[in-house]
Amino acid sequence: MGPLFPAWLCLQNNIDVLNISYTNLTGTIPEWFWVVFANATSLDISYNQITGELPHDLEFMSVELLELRSNQLTGSVPQLPRRIRTFDISRNSLNGPLSLNFEAPLLQLVVLYSNRITGVIPTQICQWKQLRVLDLSDNLLAGELSDCGIKILKQGNSCSINNSSMAHSSSTSPSSLNIRTLLLSSNSFSGEFPLLLRSCKNLLVLDLSHNNFTGKLPAWISEELQNLEILALRSNTFSSRIPIEITRLPAHQFLDLTNNTLSGTLPQSLVNLKAFTTIAYHGATGNPFDENMMENLSDNNLAGPIPEEIGTLVGLINLNLSWNLLSGKILEQIENLQSLKSFDLSNNQLSGKIPWDLSNLTSLSYMNLSYNNLTSRIPSGHQLDTVNIDDPASMYIGNPGLCGHPLPKQCPGDQPNVEHPIRHHEDGSARIMDFYLGLLVGFVVGLWMVFCGLLFKKMWRYAYFTLLDKLYDKIFVFSILIWRKWFNKAGES
């Protein structure tokens, strides 16, 4: 359809659904477009190369679905139509703050990720009762999230109980939100774990990764967010211990607390995470969490042994406890994790032997036990012989007490790899025979090439026999001269 925006569309004012995505459109959207399609219910112009800014006010339109993702649009987010339900303008270059442009009570899906939006999330979020999905990840948003009245309610409950305080609490009690997916990663949000989430009873997916959140992880997570399946909090500054309440989430299947400052020991209540399944999860915005059924607690300050209860998580696919202060042994119960594909305990203080039963993990495709205090012989066989085949030694380096293949250090009692003398003699004889055989073949081939040349090339024959005649004459003359010389000497004597 492209490259220019088709002019004939200006006559199509009776269209209800317009989908011109993936049509190689370039340039800006003409002003008449918004007027002509003011009564349309669905507009999709995604995956083109459209530039320019959107009108500041689209409130006059009747559109319910507006998708403009993956273009090159700039400017600020416009005033949205009041009937809109789905708004996706992700993967553009929008800038400026999220002002009061969301006076749309029917909004269900808002996807603005991968832009340059600044400012804070407007307090109107507390009024979006129909909202199911909010994706603001990969922007320049900052500040704290609104608590939607939770903090006031908490303060009211802590005061003395009287009629006035009860009335105040009742009037400020926030109603619950229906958000199922909240994605706020890769921004600059700050503050403690958002109290807003206490109103999100139906939340399934929460991603606060790569922000500046601080403080403790609250114990109320298991009470208020019982439906939570995915919790991603990596690259913040959450501190203190991991609350055991997190392990009591009945539907939990993805936990990522990487790169925080969490301390203490791994909770033994990990056994409560048995709800891990093998069903791949795909987020409501179409972005799959590829490493589902994952427990990633790497790059923290966790100490102590690995709890034995971890062997009950038979549905676990990815386990990463690297870059901590864990001590003790690698548990033999790891053998029970037959679904395990990735296993990383590197950069800890683990000691003892590597269990030989690890070779029975038939799904294992990645393992890293480097930089610990492990000792004894490295196990081999079965699945372990197929892991990291490009550089198998990298799985075990940094453990001075380990020995055996694939490390160069041999274990006590191993026989050095010395060549047997008889075999060496036999190999030497074989090499000599090969030399003479090659010499004979080369001689025969060379002779045959000369013969063929003389046989089929007339000029070669003339030159060859002329050379032989000259050589014969020289030899004959030389022989006569030598004969006479010796004969004369004999006669004189």
Residue recorded with tokens 């105040």: 168
Query: In 10 A of CB 281, how many CB atoms?
Result: 16
Contact 339, 365 (CB under 8 A): no
Contact 184, 210 (CB under 8 A): no
* Count of domains observed in the chain: 1
In this predicted structure, what is the pLDDT of residue 122? 86
What's the rounded Cα separation, in Å, for the pair 362 and 291? 18
List CB contacts of 452: < 8 A, sequence separation 6 or more: none
Q: Is residue 149 part of a domain?
A: no
φ/ψ (deg, to 5) at 207: -130, 105
State the residue range of the domain holding 481. 456-493
Q: Is residue 381 part of a domain?
A: no
Q: Which amino acid is at 403?
A: C
pTM of the model: 0.78
Q: Environment class of residue 35 by beta-carbon count within 10 Å: exposed (0-12), middle (13-18) or buried (19+)?
A: middle
Q: Is residue 463 part of a domain?
A: yes
pLDDT string in tens for the chain (493-residue length):
878 888 889 988 899 999 999 999 999 999 999 999 999 999 999 999 999 999 999 999 999 999 999 999 999 999 999 999 999 999 999 999 987 566 788 999 999 999 999 999 988 888 888 999 999 999 999 999 988 877 655 554 544 434 433 333 333 345 689 999 999 999 999 999 999 999 999 999 999 999 999 999 999 998 999 999 999 999 999 999 999 888 888 888 889 999 999 999 988 777 666 555 343 343 344 444 545 567 899 999 999 999 888 888 888 889 999 999 999 999 998 888 888 999 999 999 999 999 999 988 999 999 999 999 999 999 988 888 889 888 999 999 999 999 999 999 999 877 665 444 444 444 555 566 776 777 777 777 666 666 666 666 667 666 767 777 777 777 777 777 777 776 666 556 5
Q: Is residue 373 part of a domain?
A: no
In this predicted structure, what is the pLDDT of residue 308? 87
- Among 53, 46, 54, 42, CA closest to 20: 46
List CB contacts of 214: < 8 A, sequence separation 6 or more: 190, 191, 192, 236, 237, 238, 239
Q: Is residue 376 part of a domain?
A: no
Per-residue tokens: 40: 């349309």
Q: Is residue 465 part of a domain?
A: yes
The SS3 call for residue 102 is coil
C-alpha angle 8/14/17, rounded to 5°? 90
Q: Rounded to whole angstroms, what are the CA distances from 101 to 121, 122, 124, 260? A: 11, 9, 9, 35
Q: Is residue 133 part of a domain?
A: no
Give the torsion through C-alpha atoms of 271, 276, 278, 280, to 10 deg.
-160
In this predicted structure, what is the pLDDT of residue 101? 60
Q: Is residue 68 part of a domain?
A: no
In this predicted structure, what is the pLDDT of residue 477? 73
In this predicted structure, what is the pLDDT of residue 105? 87
